[in-house]
Each structure stands twice: as C-alpha cells, then as structure tokens.
Amino acid sequence: MNLEGKKIEVDNLPQTTEFVAKVTATNLTSSYVNHVALTQVIPSGWEIINTRYTELGDEQPSYANYIDIQDDRVHYYFDLGRKKTKTFQMQLNASFTGRYYLPGSIAEAMYDKDDFYVKQKGKWIEVVE
C-alpha cells in the first residue's frame, strides 16, 4: 500500500516510490502453533527502510517475539493461536531500476515443519524511471 494506506500494485513501480508491504499469517487449524518463523525476502531493486533507527520509530505494535531485519529480508518469529491472524508491515523503497523477482512469503513452525509449512508463489516486478 502507499504511505497513505491505499492499496497499490507493485508489478511496475516508479523509482524512489516509498510504500508499505503487509505480510499476514493465519492459523486455519484448531491447534496452537508455537515458534512460527515468517520470512519475506524482497527483490534486489527494493530497499527495506528500517524505521527502528530513524525519527519515525516503530509505529506499529509488535506482535512478534523477535524481528530480524536484514538487507534483503525480514524474519518474524511468533506464536499463533487457534484460528488467529497476525499481520506485519515493512516500509520499502523502489530504489534500483530493472526487472526483479519477488519471492513469496514462507511461514513454518520451526520445530514442526512437517505439519506447519506454507510457501506463497512469487512473481516478477519492475522498477522503472
């Protein structure tokens, strides 16, 4: 979504566009799932804006036990109750022109991958001048 909260398409973004990505995990089972790891890798043409170290601060409440922000991905670690949903946001910038692959999100129970593992399909995106 854009910085005002309106949904946008990310298939073809102008360079320097700042936007927010939402990643949502929902437990559709009747089991409580411990130690969920949710990973979102971003395309090489985008940059993560880590607001924890800026004057913007961390504006959203954290529903994660731990968040690991790296150069090209964000890992969220949390527990997920029965039939519950958690949504996380990251601020991004379309920095470098070109065609890039946006991998799908991956969520897994770290100690029970056989029963709790989900991977979304990725897609190609472009950053244009």
CATH number of the domain that residue 57 is part of: 2.60.40.690
Return the pLDDT at 113.
Answer: 84
Nearest to 75 by CA among 38, 46, 23: 38
Cα(92)–Cα(21) distance, rounded to whole angstroms?
Answer: 7
127, part of any domain: no
- Do residues 53 and 82 lie in contact, with contact meaning Cβ atoms separated by under 8 Å? no
4, part of any domain: no
Residue 112: which domain range? 12-121
95 φψ region: left (φ > 0), alpha (ψ -120 to 50), beta (else): alpha
**pTM, full prediction:** 0.88
7, part of any domain: no
40, part of any domain: yes
Question: Which single residue is written with the structure tokens 């920095």?
Answer: 95
Retrieve residue 21's tokens. Answer: 């990505």
111, part of any domain: yes
6, part of any domain: no
3-state SS assignment for residue 53: helix
The runs of H, that is alpha helices, within the chain are none
78, part of any domain: yes
Question: pLDDT digits over 20-64, tens only?
Answer: 999 999 999 999 999 999 999 999 999 999 876 655 555 555 689
Domains of the chain: total:
1
129, part of any domain: no
